[in-house]
Structure 1
Amino acid sequence: MELIRGKSGPQVWLDAIRYLRGNPSHQDFDLILHIADPVALSAADRAVVNRTDAFLKGHGAGSLNTVAETIFPLQDYLRGKRDGVFEIYPDRMGRIHAVRSDKRWGCYAMRILRQKDRDGKIYNPLKELLEKLERMPQYKASFELGLGYPQEEEPAGDDIAIYEGAIDRKRPYGGPCLSHLSVKVDDGKVRLNATYRSHYYMQRTLGNIMGLGRLLYFLAHETGMGIGPLTINSTYARLDTGFAPANWKLADVDELLAACATEYEREMIAA
């Protein structure tokens, strides 16, 4: 168990990669990341994002933006505001799912945008959470957002569990990794806490940080509140060497770490 904290997402992610690289097993349980400002990026932060994105794509993995968009569709928000997120994106994803064998593609965003209640009526969990934030900003801890299976039955209570037993119980791998999102209000700022059941730190985590930061930006911007910190609990964290078709070696990770460290050293010198 380790707590890693810092100002920006790329900085904290890089420190987490170093920590896991230093562990003999390259893994740990309950690795907690606390990012004070998950949205703003310095020039060095952007350079680290660009280097990491090039590394992943160069080794057969998806881009950071692809990972981030599965959590929150920023491009649809920038183009269509609330309606882009609440209506246009789900409609587009519905057409994509209709022609894909993998119906779970992009499911994180869809899990927070489309559910069915006990009466079979489709509702939008993110929309209702946002409306609750706007209606009751004086409450600090009343805004939970689980990620149950899209358009399936909602369990009792306000929480929607991401783990769907009927679908996920026999999967040793490949099930949803993001388990729960908890939104808090503190002194006029929106805070976000995310729990992951399993986390691949090279192939997924920086993209996840970006996507969660976009979700936090959306909630803060739409409510007129400030942007608070992002906290991530990786209940199992692993420094991975890619999974098919992606692949890299620990020596490649070491080269990336050194190059990213150089970006922050240059920024410090310039300051």
Structure 2
Amino acid sequence: MHTFTVEEPDVTSAWIAACRALDRKDNTARTGYHTVVRISDATKDDLRFREDLDRVRLGKGHHPTETVASTIFPAALADRCKSHDELASRYRKLYEAARRFPGNNRGTYFGRLVDYPGAKGSRIDQIGKVIDRLTQQSSKAGAMTAAYETDIAHPDDTVTTGALVHAPDHDNSLRGFPCLSHCSFQLDRNGVLHCAAFYRSHFMFERAYGNYLGLGRLTQYVARQAGLRPGVLTVIAGYAQLDGPITQIRPLLTGAQPLITA
């Protein structure tokens, strides 16, 4: 079984390191199992590198990385909202229209996080519940550090503590949405919020770069809403694959150095 763990300071460096770990002579399938990518600041990346990557992606019919990132966290919309309640409300109003776009018919990740279908037609804003609980806990001397995620959010629960993006009752397709199974937030008692995300499958060329950005922005958003500082993003993939045009990807991997400077 081929696997790897990489730790890098930013999205660009992390994506390059992960792709290099898959693109090895002893790994002709360019796949890995139980891979771990740890990013110190997943809100930072090199815009010039992203533009180069997007030129290759667009040539293969993929959406820009910014579009991928927005399915996890709609940063532009959030910037126009004064509160989380406003963001969730506005996103829910846009959600049905968004689902009519190709590839979104089964929903978006952020839609699952703020508009999860509950019992008897109720809608669950899971991110709002996470923010509320973090806000309450972070002010306590003995704050809970790992009580901010769940596999199944039930509408009758008095407290929903996580960010479910996989619905076990109807997400039964062998491929496709949702590849992101869940997000887990950890409260460091020094006022920092970390995030761990688990993917059942991760396509490095098609999705990973944008996913890293979206998850980093989501972590930053949740942290700031709760009066915390964003920390480390860890992305675990049950199965990772370096897909796409490898001859066009390799120059990006071999020609780039760590691109983010302090």
Same fold, judged at TM 0.5 (above): yes
Counterpart amino acid of residue 66 in structure 2: N
Aligned to 1:60: 61
Mapped to 1, the partners of 2:152 and 2:77 lie a distance apart of: 20
How do 1:244-255 and structure 2 match up within 5 A?
Answer: 249-255=245-251
1:85 matched to 2:87: yes
* Aligned with 1:212 (options 199, 210, 215): 215
Mapped to 1, the partners of 2:91 and 2:253 lie a distance apart of: 35
TM-score if structure 1 supplies the norm length?
Answer: 0.82
Aligned to 2:132: 131
Per the TM alignment, residue 122 of structure 1 is displaced from its structure 2 partner at its CA by: 2.1
**Matched residues, number:** 250
How do 1:1-271 and structure 2 match up within 5 A?
Answer: 1-22=3-24, 23-41=27-45, 45-81=46-82, 82-97=84-99, 99=100, 104=105, 106-118=107-119, 120-137=121-138, 138-144=143-149, 146=151, 162-169=165-172, 171-186=173-188, 187-241=190-244, 249-261=245-257, 264=259
8 Å contact kept, 2:113–2:163: no
Counterpart amino acid of residue 140 in structure 1: T
Structure 2 residue ranges without an equivalent (≥5): none
User: SS of the counterpart of 1:233?
Assistant: strand
Structure number having the greater helix percentage = 1
Task: Decide whether aligned partners of structure 1 residues 56 and 155 sit closer, same or farther in structure 2, where only a CA change above 3 A counts.
Answer: farther
Mapped to 1, the partners of 2:31 and 2:147 lie a distance apart of: 33
Mapped to 2, the partners of 1:239 and 1:173 lie a distance apart of: 16
Mapped to 2, the partners of 1:145 and 1:84 lie a distance apart of: 24
Mapped to 2, the partners of 1:46 and 1:75 lie a distance apart of: 17
Per the TM alignment, residue 33 of structure 1 is displaced from its structure 2 partner at its CA by: 0.4
Task: Decide whether aligned partners of structure 1 residues 178 and 147 sit closer, same or farther in structure 2, where only a CA change above 3 A counts.
Answer: farther
Per the TM alignment, residue 5 of structure 1 is displaced from its structure 2 partner at its CA by: 0.5
Moved over 6 A (4+): none
Per the TM alignment, residue 34 of structure 1 is displaced from its structure 2 partner at its CA by: 0.6
Task: Decide whether aligned partners of structure 1 residues 192 and 159 sit closer, same or farther in structure 2, where only a CA change above 3 A counts.
Answer: closer
Per the TM alignment, residue 158 of structure 1 is displaced from its structure 2 partner at its CA by: 5.2
Mapped to 2, the partners of 1:165 and 1:194 lie a distance apart of: 17
8 Å contact kept, 2:186–2:193: yes
Per the TM alignment, residue 79 of structure 1 is displaced from its structure 2 partner at its CA by: 1.0
Comparing 107-116 with 177-186, greater Cα deviation is found at: 107-116
8 Å contact kept, 1:147–1:180: no
Per the TM alignment, residue 175 of structure 1 is displaced from its structure 2 partner at its CA by: 3.4
Task: Decide whether aligned partners of structure 1 residues 102 and 196 sit closer, same or farther in structure 2, where only a CA change above 3 A counts.
Answer: closer
Task: Decide whether aligned partners of structure 1 residues 217 and 54 sit closer, same or farther in structure 2, where only a CA change above 3 A counts.
Answer: same
Task: Decide whether aligned partners of structure 1 residues 83 and 162 sit closer, same or farther in structure 2, where only a CA change above 3 A counts.
Answer: closer
Mapped to 1, the partners of 2:240 and 2:152 lie a distance apart of: 20
Per the TM alignment, residue 71 of structure 1 is displaced from its structure 2 partner at its CA by: 0.5
1:171-196: CA deviation from partner (whole Å, max 9, x where unpaired): 22123100010001112101000000
Counterpart amino acid of residue 61 in structure 1: H
Percent of pairs with identical residues: 26
8 Å contact kept, 2:106–2:177: no
User: SS of the counterpart of 1:230?
Assistant: strand
Mapped to 2, the partners of 1:58 and 1:34 lie a distance apart of: 29
Mapped to 1, the partners of 2:161 and 2:224 lie a distance apart of: 24
Counterpart amino acid of residue 144 in structure 1: E
